[in-house]
Amino acid sequence: MTSDTYIWKCAEASVSHLDAYKLLTGGELSDDVIDAFVIRFWNKIETTNSYDRKIHVTRPWLAQAFLDGNREMVAKRMKKNVSQQKFLECERKS
């Protein structure tokens, strides 16, 4: 079983890559980029037997969508949050 810490690090890496891409493109993120991010992040979560408790606490809608297997909900909410500059806040806990 993969640890929750590993899953959180995957999430952090994914968000960091998206954030870097955002900087490279001058702050513009197309739906295609967000969709690719959702699929990449989803695949990382699916390859484990768990999901991160921190995601559940800080992003309850995201954790619930993963548990429900609702990829469309994840994409819709992420698009909304990215457009509001909220999703890219990645909380780092030691």
32: in domain: yes
8 Å CB contact between 91 and 58: yes
23: in domain: yes
91: in domain: no
Q: Which residue did the predictor score with more confidence, 83 or 73?
A: 73
pLDDT exceeds 50 at position 88: no
Residue-wise pLDDT for 33-63, tens only, equals 666 666 666 666 665 555 555 554 456 666 6
40: in domain: yes
**Structural domains counted in the chain:** 1
43: in domain: yes
8 Å CB contact between 48 and 7: yes
69: in domain: yes
The pLDDT assigned to 89 comes to: 46
Residue ranges making up the domain that contains 11: 4-83
39: in domain: yes
The pLDDT assigned to 35 comes to: 67
Whole-structure pTM value: 0.38
